[in-house]
Structure 1
Amino acid sequence: MSTSRPTPSGPATPEVKALRDALDAEHAAVYGYGVAGGRLTGAARTQARTALDTHRARRDAIGRLIADRGAIAPAAAPAYTIPFPVDTPADATRLAVFLEEGVALHLGALVAAAGAPLREDAANWLRESAVWAVRWRGASTPFPGLPEAGASGTPTAGGRT
């Protein structure tokens, strides 16, 4: 999912930019988990609901952090582009991995841009997204939050339709 909207007004420090990008990724994750949850059942649906609640809480916290810095937080788009059809539980699981990887990339950038104590919060959020990705994928990656070497593109959350 990619973003195409203008940046809201307010201070444009690297930390605020990284917070806005992370917030946009969280907005997309909330939307995407709504899509994924519609194709899951049983324990997987419960897991998706818990992940959705986690992303909502993180989205709200990041929005407050942006406002605390005197900046304007980007609002959620009315809809986001889903990168592939989600017709089966396997597709929904793949979407959940995609969402967590996209959020982790933005949280990794926030860790790099943030000062203390926000850096610690961002690192904890990054860890949480990495754990969610492992739960969905069934395996870990060497460096969650960093793009893979030689990757042709990086999945990002946050695009509008």
Structure 2
Amino acid sequence: MRVDQALSTALAAEHAAVYAYGVIGARTTGELRAVAIDAFNAHRARRDRLRTLVIARGGDPAEPSPNYRLPVTPSTAAQAVELAVLVEQGVTGAYLELTASGDPALRKMAALAMQECAVRAYGLRPAVETFPGMPVRPDPTPTSTATTPSS
């Protein structure tokens, strides 16, 4: 994937994240809403930085979609957390191609964005997910191979 396409992919993911966190923030209260607002602001800042990078490279940055189809429309706190974790996982995957860029500054930006997304997702749901592009980890739960003695 070309760097310009990778930047566009990350930008599209950030547009979607800003939209999703706007929905989450509007449908939550308390600490979860504060987390959503912080995430909204973080994704908005990254979106703006990506737009600037695309323009600086002579590109035409994509605008946000007028509507997005959310995988979950949150009506409970659990659904809001589920949506937020899905958003963070999606944005993490969108930055993956940029980590292969020949530009060290782009690689660093992408790696830091992925790290922030992973930390944010873990803070919402403390579970270690499979890294994008990697095979699913085997279940660490040991299975019994012992047999009962026959009588």
TM-score range, shorter chain: 0.7 to 0.9
Deviations 1:64-97 (A, max 9, x none): 0011110111001111111133211111110000
Structure 1 Cα separation of the partners of residues 116 and 72 of structure 2 = 24
From the CA coordinates, give the structure whose radius of gyration is larger.
2
Q: CA deviation at 1:112?
A: 1.9
Q: Percent identical across equivalent pairs? A: 40
Q: Which runs of 5+ in 2 are unaligned?
A: 137-151
The answer to whether residue 15 in structure 2 is matched with residue 33 in structure 1 is no
In the TM superposition, structure 1's runs of 4+ consecutive aligned residues that sit over 6 Å from their partners are none
Q: How far, CA to CA, are the matches of 2:134 and 2:21 in structure 1? A: 24
Q: Where do 1:18-97 residues align within 5 Å?
A: 18-97=6-85
Matched residue SS, 1:84: coil
TM-score when normalising by structure 2: 0.84
Q: 1:121 maps to what in 2?
A: 109
1: CA distance between counterparts of 2:104 and 2:31? 37
Q: Deviations over 1:117-148 (max 9, x none)?
A: 211111111111111111111222353xx145
CA distance in 2, matches of 1:92, 1:125: 21
The yes-or-no answer on 1:139 pairing with 2:127 is yes
Greater RCO structure (CA 8 Å; 6+ sep): 1
SS of residue matched to 1:80: coil
CA distance in 1, matches of 2:100, 2:48: 21
